[in-house]
């Protein structure tokens, strides 16, 4: 399959890496944990990359910026669910640190991408 424009974006690649990492973690949880916190966290993290892709595919700068803002909101939701999972001892300290580091890299990249879209108008 040919790579599309959104797949070339570093911000999208970071979002996809985070989503895959969280999926791996949640997949090892028991049924109750998966269907409560796990489901919410996976849906939120998958939404980050999906909104980056959808925004670019909409064709207008205004739509693109709106979807990137939604992606940023989803990333904040991921942070919430990670905190809940950490407080409930569902993540090891190493997992928590690794995921937090990925978010620390993704959030400024998402903001920079949004700022670059704003400057293009």
Predicted local distance difference test score (pLDDT) of residue 60 = 87
d(CA 77, CA 59): 26
Residues of the chain short of pLDDT 50, as ranges, are none
Predicted local distance difference test score (pLDDT) of residue 121 = 55
Predicted local distance difference test score (pLDDT) of residue 38 = 98
Predicted local distance difference test score (pLDDT) of residue 44 = 98
Dihedral over alpha carbons 26, 74, 5, 24 (to 10 degrees): -10
**Which domain does 16 fall in, by range?**
5-119
Read off the pLDDT of residues 33-67 as tens digits, 9 standing for 90 and up: 999 999 999 999 999 999 999 999 998 889 999 99
| CA–CA distances in Å: residue 113 to residues 22, 24, 117, 120 | 23, 27, 6, 11
CATH value at residue 96: 1.20.1440.60
Number of neighbouring beta carbons within 10 Å of residue 120: 9
Whether the CB-CB separation of 48 and 71 falls below 8 Å is answered with yes
Predicted local distance difference test score (pLDDT) of residue 2 = 54
**In total, how many domains does the chain have?**
1
């Amino acid at each position: 399959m040919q790579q599309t424009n959104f797949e070339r974006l570093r911000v999208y690649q970071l979002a996809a890496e985070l989503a895959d990492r969280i999926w791996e973690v949640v997949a090892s949880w028991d049924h109750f944990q998966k269907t409560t916190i796990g489901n919410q966290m996976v849906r939120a993290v998958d939404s980050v990359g999906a909104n980056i892709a959808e925004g670019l595919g909409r064709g207008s700068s205004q739509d693109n910026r709106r979807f990137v803002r939604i992606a940023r909101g989803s990333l904040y939701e991921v942070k919430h669910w990670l905190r809940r999972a950490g407080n409930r001892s569902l993540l090891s300290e190493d997992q928590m640190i690794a995921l937090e580091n990925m978010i620390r890299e993704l959030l400024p990249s998402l903001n920079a991408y949004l700022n670059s879209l704003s400057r293009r108008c």
